[in-house]
Amino acid sequence: MRGFSFSLKRFLVITLVKLQFSRQTGIPTTKNGLERKIGSLQTSFGKMISESISGAI
């Protein structure tokens, strides 16, 4: 059949549960999303450290 696709994860509602979990907690459930989140945290932490060092001098 054309235009028909079946996803076991969608059928078992896994996709919806992961989406709701991610929205409520702010924790991404995909590898790419998690890497982006960690990268942004490292960047903001680095800025905080450099600002505190420059402010102390």
Q: What is the pLDDT of residue 1?
A: 59
* Both structure tokens of 33: 């999303």
Domain count, the chain: 1
Q: What is the pLDDT of residue 55?
A: 65
How do the pLDDT tens digits run along the chain, 57 residues long? Answer: 577 788 887 788 888 898 899 999 988 888 898 888 888 888 887 777 777 777 655
Q: What is the pLDDT of residue 13?
A: 85
Domain annotation covers residue 51: yes
Domain annotation covers residue 37: yes
* Both structure tokens of 28: 């991404």
Q: What is the pLDDT of residue 56?
A: 58
Residues 22/29, Cβ–Cβ less than 8 Å: yes
Query: Which domain covers residue 52, as residue numbers?
Result: 31-57
Domain annotation covers residue 14: no
N- to C-terminal Cα distance for the chain? 70
pTM for the model stands at 0.51
